[in-house]
Amino acid sequence: MQKLPVICPSCESTLKVSQLSCSSCATTISGDYLLPNFLRLNTEDQQFVLNFILSGGSLKEMAQKLNKSYPTVRNILDDIIEKLK
């Protein structure tokens, strides 16, 4: 799957969604939509949040899965929370 670009390569502003299309009937919708906060995170952070939810919100389980210590995993989560604020 291709990486979703969220930052403008020209001026480094956050990109917006201006067009959505249906791959089955080729309908296209144009507009001016903000990217959800979650999609503004980088791929690594998105994967972390996804795994965190799938592990039932357990940092201990996440630490075991990622082979990192509990405080390291908690710090990653805290940094993501800061990015989402």
Partner 1 sequence: MIKFLLKPFERYSENTLIPIGVVFMLIGSYFGSVCQAHFDGVLDLHFSNENVSFYTSLLENTINIIVLTVCLFIVGRMVNNKTRIVDLLSTVLIARIPFYFAALFNISGTYSFGDASDIQKTKDFASNHLGSLIMLTLSIIMLTIWMIALLFNGYKVSTNAKGTKAVLLFTVAIIVAEVLSKISFYYLKF
Query: Hey, which bits of 1-85 come out as E strands?
Result: 17-21, 28-33
Residue 78 contacts partner 1 per CB under 8 A: yes
Based on CB atoms, which residue is closest to partner 1, 37 or 72? Answer: 72
Nearest approach in angstroms of CB 71 to partner 1 is 5
Which residues does residue 29 pair with via DSSP β-bridges, in sequence order?
A: 20
Q: Applying CB under 8 A, which of residues 75, 80, 84, 85 lies at the interface with partner 1?
A: 75
How many CB atoms neighbour CB 46 within 10 A? 15
Is residue 79 part of the contact set for partner 1 (CB under 8 A)? yes
